[in-house]
Amino acid sequence: MKNIAFCSLLAASLAATSLPSPAAPATGEPIPIAGTFDLSGAAADVGKDVLDGVEYAVESVNKNGGVLGRPLALTYQDNGTNPQRAVNQATALIQGGAKFMLSPQSSASAIAVSKAVSGKLKMPTCANSANSDDITIKEYQPYIFQIGANSYMEMRALAKRLAAQPHKRYAVITADYAGGRSGAIRFKEFIKELNPQTEIVVEEYPKFGASDYTATINKVIAAKPDYVFTMLFGADLLAFSKQATAVGFFKQIDNKFIALYDGNTLKALGEFAAVGTDGWQRAPANYMAAGTANARSYVAQYKAKTGKYPSDWSTLAHDCVVTWARAANAAKSVEPDAVMAAIEATEFDSPRGLFRIGKFDHQAEVPVYFGKVTQSKEFGQAVLDISSIVPGKDVRPSESAVKAMRAAN
């Protein structure tokens, strides 16, 4: 276990932290917050980015007065992308006094922690990168909140975009894990609803964390789809893309391909980045760097502090901490029910803009970003050149729809 007390000053502005007003650095007895992170295993690349974002956010919050004038102190453990280990760790961390929990990064682990720990122990918990809509729909409990667009929202936005195009024959590729399966189900449901002439000609579900995608690539090429949709991300997308590029996969499908391209994966892809393919993101640093004053300040301050641009995962984790901190300050309490009531009642500002969290599902109403992969001289890497943004309100399920899905569970 690692304990980190964040009391040092950070040259970050108020805008970068999204806190309401400047304040003296926090003092006094630290308020413990905790996380069980995927720092090894299949989701390790995401977990490390999340930890970076949490650490940055805690320092920023502490510089700007902390929570109730007290600094935050982070305790975390590595769950190895293992749901049972994550549950055990979360239980121990909460019993150790934590007042706020950051969920694991893999959806299976996040759902397990939400059901077995957060709900039962009444611990406010933020789902950061895990985006299975089960978290806020079928498996909802009142102490969880989800800071990124969930799979329902992303797949609704994606299906709307693709249904207007002439593609009819789709291939589906996703790793075999809760979030991937959830996304694939939603995509198939929505694309068929919005364009009944479409068909899924091949579905591939390789192991989460797989290293060899040869069979999947060959099956997709043989099926001759008009378009390829994948929920592969992070290390999985990196491994797939390198192997696909080596055999000319993207050329054979004329770049008719879309994936969740987070900034760090695009950087890691280097020359293997499939320029010209489509993608979506949750918090694109290149877009925020040219956005609002808050967004520009956040990106600049983060890069000055860490030496790198914030990844999508880092920004979502940052927003988790700042959202809880602002809610606790608004509630003038760190007691669970008071904080959750404030989360439901407050409009939050973040590098992604203003958003609210729904009372009936605790889902943040945040946008989905779409664009094409391109090489950026300014950023010195491949980025997603954002061409359209779908507001969360346009794709989030209604309260009646959520209730119907829960009742059918």
Looking at residue 26, what is its pLDDT?
A: 84
- Name the segment(s) of the chain with CATH classification 3.40.50.2300: 2-149+288-356, 152-281+368-407
The radius of gyration computed from the CA coordinates of the chain, to the nearest angstrom, equals 20
pLDDT, tens digit, 9 for 90 and up, residues 7-29: 322 233 333 334 444 568 888 99
Looking at residue 23, what is its pLDDT?
A: 67
297: which 2 tokens?
A: 């300040």
The dihedral region occupied by 331, where left means phi > 0, alpha psi between -120 and 50, and beta the remainder, is: alpha
Looking at residue 142, what is its pLDDT?
A: 98
The CATH classification number of 2-149+288-356 equals: 3.40.50.2300
Q: Do residues 349 and 181 lie in contact, with contact meaning Cβ atoms separated by under 8 Å?
A: no
Looking at residue 5, what is its pLDDT?
A: 32
pLDDT, tens digit, 9 for 90 and up, residues 121-156: 999 999 999 999 999 999 999 999 999 999 999 999
Q: Which amino acid is at 264?
A: N
Q: Do residues 342 and 330 lie in contact, with contact meaning Cβ atoms separated by under 8 Å?
A: yes
Looking at residue 121, what is its pLDDT?
A: 98
The CATH classification number of 152-281+368-407 equals: 3.40.50.2300
Looking at residue 403, what is its pLDDT?
A: 96
**DSSP secondary structure letters along 270-285:** GGGS-TT-EEEESS-H
| Inter-axis angle of helices 312-331 and 44-63, nearest 10 | 40
Of 63, 76, 1, the C-alpha closest to 27 is 63
Q: Do residues 294 and 14 lie in contact, with contact meaning Cβ atoms separated by under 8 Å?
A: no
Looking at residue 214, what is its pLDDT?
A: 97
Looking at residue 10, what is its pLDDT?
A: 29
Looking at residue 177, what is its pLDDT?
A: 86
Q: Write down the pTM of the prediction.
A: 0.91
Which residue ranges of the chain lie beneath pLDDT 70?
A: 1-23
Of 114, 112, 58, 121, the C-alpha closest to 81 is 112
Looking at residue 22, what is its pLDDT?
A: 55
